[in-house]
Amino acid sequence: MKKNRLGASDLLVGEIGLGCMSVGTEEQQAVYLIHEALDKGVNLLDTADLYQHGRNEEIVGAAIRGRRQDVILATKVGNRRIPGQEGWEWDPSKKYILSAVKESMRRLGTDYIDLYQLHGGTINDPIDETIEAFEQLQQEGVIRYYGISSIRPHVIREYVERSNIISVMNQYSLLDRRAEEEVLSLLQERGISVIARGPVASGVLADNGEEKAAKGYLDYKEAELLDVRKQLKAFAGSDRSMEQTAIRYSLSHPAVAAVIPGASSLGQLEHNISAADIAPLTEHEREALQQISRANRYDAQYR
């Protein structure tokens, strides 16, 4: 699998990683899927302390035991669960980040994290304090690098200007092209890599995604989604599947270093990874695909 450098770091990640949130909570099956991914060339595993109340980190930790050197391990912080309460609250404070990382490392069974990411962010956060926490962890060797997971352009710009992030995890697919307008060019210019999540748009762009399309996606109407699917299928032809084409679309922007599709079955995992064997899209093909979807606008709440 082709490997790309994350920003200006020394982290080389396979262009197709694994979003581990989807592997489930049955440990034996989940560990099996992660091992299969690693055996097939995946080295970027992404999780978060929020997923399944920390259980996802524990499962990832079990899977990488004895294979830590094969993995670029990414997790996230900022969503704080309150014991005895439903849900969580947003806490980007230095105090919380410095304590939360210890719990993540315990669950993951590791003494360092390759990429520690802020799991969200708002323009009203104590951003300098948050950055200070990440910088301290990096200086202490607890984390190798840090980034943010955000779809908010204003927040992303603040971290680009004020921090040493190497990556931004951003929702980016043929159906969600908001990042093209305000984010990707800036990150490419600054040498900060994008890790694209949701390249298959929650399954809407998969070959068997008709039922997912019926449930809607973003502000698309079902008829629009069905039309995009019809045109995508025709574009893909017989040489590649719809999801392979969708994954290659997300990878076609030069700012994108990796995509992290999820997988809950071996077949799904293998199909996602097989996109690494498909030739990259030409600029003409990329432009043709853009004609079958529409550019998206950010809602005011995400600015």
Report the catalytic residues: 51
Token readout for 77 is 């912080």
DSSP state of 282: P
- Range list of β-strands (E), the chain: 3-5, 12-14, 18-19, 44-46, 72-77, 79-81, 88-90, 113-119, 143-149, 167-171, 193-197, 256-259
Q: Are 78 and 49 in contact (CB under 8 A)?
A: no
Q: Which run of H or E residues covers position 131?
A: helix 127-139
Angle at the Cα of 282 from the Cα atoms of 177 and 186, rounded to 5 degrees:
40
- Measured CA distances, 267 to 68, 225, 233 (Å): 25, 24, 19
Residue 125: alpha-carbon gap to chain centroid: 22
- Beta pairing partners, 168: 148, 194
**C-alpha span between 100 and 177 (Å, rounded):** 33
Tell me the torsion sign for CA atoms 257, 181, 291, 204.
positive
Token readout for 24 is 């489930």
Token readout for 295 is 């550019």
Tell me the torsion sign for CA atoms 225, 51, 99, 10.
negative
Q: How many Cβ atoms sit within 10 Å of the Cβ of residue 238?
A: 5
